[in-house]
């Protein structure tokens, strides 16, 4: 389906799909990093050889001789006898190559303050921070929690931890004290790096008080010895004597001399917590050599990065995997120049992102469909006021991009010419797995399309057999890949159970998918488990349900992901109140419970709607039928109710609630 003319072709249409495909223009193809389609079959013939070739592009202090050890599945080891320093790969080697004056980060604070930091400066700061952390007792293998806004010190902190061979656990700044504490405890972090606050939506949003609250929970005793505080917003905070230290005061004692040691390729690099099907978040463990190999390879090839000339911008927060792989490790390992923006897209107005693109001449822009839909709602007249002509590649991540949003993104932001790479991957995969290569692929709006070279995916039925083309099934990944999750921190059984038990040696992603009839492109169909996708963030129904039933007025709760025009899905909860609470008006109960969920988990988990009902629909064996509740929340006709213990429940519920 690819041709060189840049003309638009058609492919066989299925319900709701856009029939148009967008081949690369001859001009784009010509200059693309990857423009020889034989890469796919060469990598398929020898995936290990392909990945070893990519790994060689990094600097190893001790070269590896073994590529993959899969002798104890599902515990993979990549390049295990090799040694490298991840931070030095992102910093020192660029300086040594004479690129020290290249800007690594153009930082744009929400209030308008800016800083451009070169690779030489970033290296210097990371070395100082590494010295500071060493004197605070950080050793290889330790865990450091990072709870920060989107500011350069966050990147510096992550790289300083990595430089010492310790592992970071970045906790998104929107998480509550409870969530932060659970993550600190699970990883047994001894140091927390935070800031007084960050700027969001035009005001200072405090962070340090949440750290204080987290550490005061459960009687106060925790693994944390020291809290390092970066000064950003200058809001009033309290400092605990002997525990809390100001970063800017401490750092003055340390110089920029620090030699990076090599660590084994399988040394833990970070833990990142993500929601699963149970109430307890999973600590996804990533290691060093394989992770950096795939993060940098995909960043270079999927975005067609030219580090000498491109200005790259990924809008993700470093609290998520996208921020880890495509703000920190991928771009910096590739020596890219990137924009980092602290705030929200609507501050001071909806032109903010576009003004940043114009100001820095951003050439590659990577964001999420939910943000694109929000901008669409505001209208094209806003971006049209800015010069976005520098843009040459656009990326999308987090959920399937609906064709309408795809076309808007393509036309309004990409001038109708910039290719859009829709990238499917997960916290667990560590890096992009399915995406177009923009110099080769004829783009199809709404499909993530092609497995990356060296990656093999299959869509299978429940029995693990490949489904026919055109049929829906479960997405699996065959063969280990370099940036794959190595374990769930402290819980290898859960690791096996969650991802490997279902199909043996194939990784089960938890997503439904369909393979195209005509050319095998992959279409993602959403989660098949109880994980919701709200604004591209993963939330667990079970985690929100357990927060709700912890509230003293709630007897039972069921949570579903309802379809939402902007956020993809939205959290809708159905609650049965305890009998003594029925005097509460539904409005009061709804407000109190929404606030409770936000306080327990974080504002991202706050339900869009809480419906107070007298009973939940259950099967005879007592299982809540969320499928029926989802129909109600979506305002759809309720599906088959014959397996309910009491078939009248659904009509009672429908009478009780008002769906907006
Ligand atoms: O359901 C898929 C969806 O997001 C899930 C992974 O979420 P998380 O680990 O938070 O990582 C998000 C950023 C990589 C997947 O299981 N997802 C992610 N990207 C896409 C997607 N669904 C469809 N198309 C995508 N491009």
- Check if the beta carbon of residue 578 is closer than 8 Å to that of residue 315: no
* 634 annotated as a binding-site residue: no
d(CA 536, ligand 1 centre) in Å = 7
Residues 351-368 pLDDT 10s: 999 999 999 999 999 999
* 219 annotated as a binding-site residue: no
d(CA 598, CA 611): 17
d(CA 527, CA 533): 8
Residue 307: count other Cβ atoms within 10 Å of its Cβ. 15
Pocket of ligand 1 (CB under 6 A): 274, 321-322, 397-400, 422-427, 448, 509-511, 524, 527, 533, 538
d(CA 220, CA 207): 18
pLDDT given at position 15: 55
* 425 annotated as a binding-site residue: yes
Best residue among 538, 543, 604 to mutate for probing ligand 1, ranked by most atoms within 8 Å of CB: 538
With the C-alpha atoms ordered 344, 366, 409, 572, is the resulting torsion angle positive or negative?
negative
Q: Averaged in consecutive runs of 10 residues, what is the pLDDT profile of the chain (660 residues)?
A: 38 61 96 97 97 98 98 97 98 98 98 98 98 98 98 98 98 96 97 98 97 96 97 97 98 96 98 87 97 98 98 98 98 98 97 98 97 95 98 96 95 97 98 98 96 97 92 95 98 96 93 89 91 90 92 93 92 90 81 95 94 89 87 88 84 72
d(CA 24, ligand 1 centre) in Å = 25
Sheet strands (E) in 320-363: 337-341
pLDDT given at position 586: 83
DSSP state of 262: P
d(CA 528, ligand 1 centre) in Å = 12
Which numbered atom of ligand 1 lies nearest the CA of 537? 10
* 213 annotated as a binding-site residue: no
pLDDT given at position 7: 40
Residue 175, helix vs strand vs coil: strand
Residue 377, helix vs strand vs coil: helix
Q: Whose Cα sits closest to atom 6 in ligand 1?
A: 426
Convert 363-395 to b/e letters by CB count within 10 Å (16 or more is b).
bbbbbbbbbbbbbbeeeeebbeebebebbbbbb
d(CA 398, ligand 1 centre) in Å = 4
With the C-alpha atoms ordered 21, 23, 28, 33, is the resulting torsion angle positive or negative?
positive
d(CA 617, CA 641): 9
Cis status, amide bond into 348, omega within 30 of 0: yes
**What contacts 252, CB < 8 A, 6 or more positions away?**
none
The neighbouring-strand residues paired with 117 are: 105
Question: What angle do the packed helices 152-163 and 119-135 form, to 10 degrees?
Answer: 60
Residue 621: count other Cβ atoms within 10 Å of its Cβ. 7
d(CA 163, CA 161): 5
Q: Whose Cα sits closest to atom 26 in ligand 1?
A: 424
Write down all domains in the chain, each with its CATH number in brackets. 26-499 (3.40.50.12780), 531-656 (3.30.300.30)
* 378 annotated as a binding-site residue: no
* 551 annotated as a binding-site residue: yes
Nearest CA-CA partner of 419 in 30, 6, 11, 17: 6
Q: Whose Cα sits closest to atom 14 in ligand 1?
A: 426
d(CA 55, CA 114): 35
Distance of CA 414 to the CA centre of its chain: 23
Residue 131, helix vs strand vs coil: helix
* Length of the chain (residues): 660
Distance of CA 210 to the CA centre of its chain: 22
pLDDT given at position 649: 87
d(CA 540, ligand 1 centre) in Å = 14
d(CA 602, CA 139): 31
Phi, psi of 159, rounded to the nearest 5 degrees = -70, -35
Q: What is the pTM of this model?
A: 0.94
pLDDT given at position 536: 85
* 183 annotated as a binding-site residue: no
DSSP state of 579: G
Strands 226-230 and 191-195: parallel
Residue 266, helix vs strand vs coil: coil
Residues 438-484 pLDDT 10s: 999 999 999 999 999 999 999 999 999 999 988 899 999 999 999 99
d(CA 380, ligand 1 centre) in Å = 26
Best residue among 172, 330, 425 to mutate for probing ligand 1, ranked by most atoms within 8 Å of CB: 425
DSSP state of 151: S
Taking each continuous run of H as one helix and of E as one strand, the counts in the chain are 21, 32
d(CA 538, ligand 1 centre) in Å = 8
* 511 annotated as a binding-site residue: yes
Which numbered atom of ligand 1 lies nearest the CA of 428? 9
């Amino acid at each position: 389906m690819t041709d060189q003319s840049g003309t638009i072709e058609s492919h066989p249409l299925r319900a709701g799909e856009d029939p148009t495909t967008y081949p690369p223009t001859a001009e784009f193809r010509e200059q693309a990093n990857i423009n020889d389609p034989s890469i796919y079959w060469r990598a398929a013939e020898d995936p290990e050889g392909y990945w070893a070739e990519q790994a060689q592009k990094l600097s190893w202090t001790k070269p590896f001789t073994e590529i993959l050890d899969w002798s104890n599945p599902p515990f993979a080891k990549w390049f295990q006898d090799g040694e490298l320093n991840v931070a030095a790969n992102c910093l020192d080697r660029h300086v040594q190559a004479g690129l020290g004056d290249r800007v690594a980060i153009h930082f744009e604070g929400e209030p308008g303050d800016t800083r451009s930091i070169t690779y030489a400066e970033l290296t210097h700061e990371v070395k100082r921070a590494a010295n500071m952390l060493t004197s605070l007792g950080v050793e290889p293998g330790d865990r450091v929690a990072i709870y920060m806004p989107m500011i350069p010190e966050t990147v510096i902190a992550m790289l300083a931890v990595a430089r010492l061979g310790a592992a970071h656990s970045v906790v998104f700044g929107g998480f509550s004290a409870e969530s932060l504490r659970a993550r600190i405890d699970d990883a047994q972090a001894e140091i927390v790096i935070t800031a007084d606050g960050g700027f969001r939506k035009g005001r200072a949003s405090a962070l340090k008080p949440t750290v204080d609250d987290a550490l005061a929970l459960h009687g106060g005793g925790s693994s944390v010895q020291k809290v390092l505080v970066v000064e950003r917003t200058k809001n009033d905070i309290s400092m605990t004597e002997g525990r809390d230290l100001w970063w800017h005061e401490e750092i003055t004692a340390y110089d920029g001399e620090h030699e990076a040691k090599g660590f084994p390729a399988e040394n833990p690099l970070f833990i990142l917590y993500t929601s699963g099907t149970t109430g307890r978040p999973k600590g996804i463990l990533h290691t060093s050599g394989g992770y950096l190999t795939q993060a940098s390879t995909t960043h270079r090839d999927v975005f067609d990065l030219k580090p000498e000339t491109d200005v790259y911008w990924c809008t993700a927060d470093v609290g998520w995997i996208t921020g880890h792989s495509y703000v920190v490790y991928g771009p910096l390992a590739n020596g890219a120049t990137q924009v980092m923006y602290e705030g929200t897209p609507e501050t001071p107005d909806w032109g903010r992102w576009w003004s940043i693109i114009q100001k820095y001449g951003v050439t590659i822009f990577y964001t999420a469909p939910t943000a694109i839909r929000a901008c669409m709602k505001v209208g094209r007249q806003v971006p049209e006021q800015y010069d976005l002509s520098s843009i040459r590649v656009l990326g999308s991540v987090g959920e399937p991009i609906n064709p309408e949003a795809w076309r808007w993104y393509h036309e309004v932001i990409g001038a109708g010419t910039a290719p859009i790479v829709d990238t499917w991957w997960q916290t667990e995969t560590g890096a992009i797995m399915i995406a177009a290569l923009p110099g080769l692929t004829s783009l199809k709006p709404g499909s993530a399309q092609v497995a990356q070279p060296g990656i093999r995916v299959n869509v299978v039925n429940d029995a693990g057999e490949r489904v026919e083309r055109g049929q829906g099934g479960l997405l699996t990944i065959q063969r280990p890949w370099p940036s794959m999750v190595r374990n769930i921190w402290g819980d290898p059984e859960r690791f096996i159970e969650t991802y490997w038990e279902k199909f043996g040696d194939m990784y089960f992603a938890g997503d439904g998918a369909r393979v195209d009839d005509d050319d095998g492109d992959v279409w993602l169909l959403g989660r098949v488990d109880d994980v919701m996708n709200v604004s591209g963030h993963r939330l667990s129904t079970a985690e929100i349900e357990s927060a709700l039933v912890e509230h003293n007025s709630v007897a039972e709760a069921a949570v579903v992901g309802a379809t939402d025009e902007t956020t993809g899905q939205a959290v809708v909860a159905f609650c049965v109140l305890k009998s003594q609470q029925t005097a509460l008006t539904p409005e009061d109960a709804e407000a109190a419970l929404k606030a409770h969920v936000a306080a327990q988990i974080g504002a991202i988990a706050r339900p869009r709607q809480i419906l107070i009902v007298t009973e939940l629909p259950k099967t005879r064996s007592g299982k809540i039928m969320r499928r029926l509740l989802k129909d109600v929340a979506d305002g759809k006709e309720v599906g088959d109710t014959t397996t309910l213990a009491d078939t009248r429940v659904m009509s009672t519920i429908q009478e009780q609630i008002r769906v907006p």
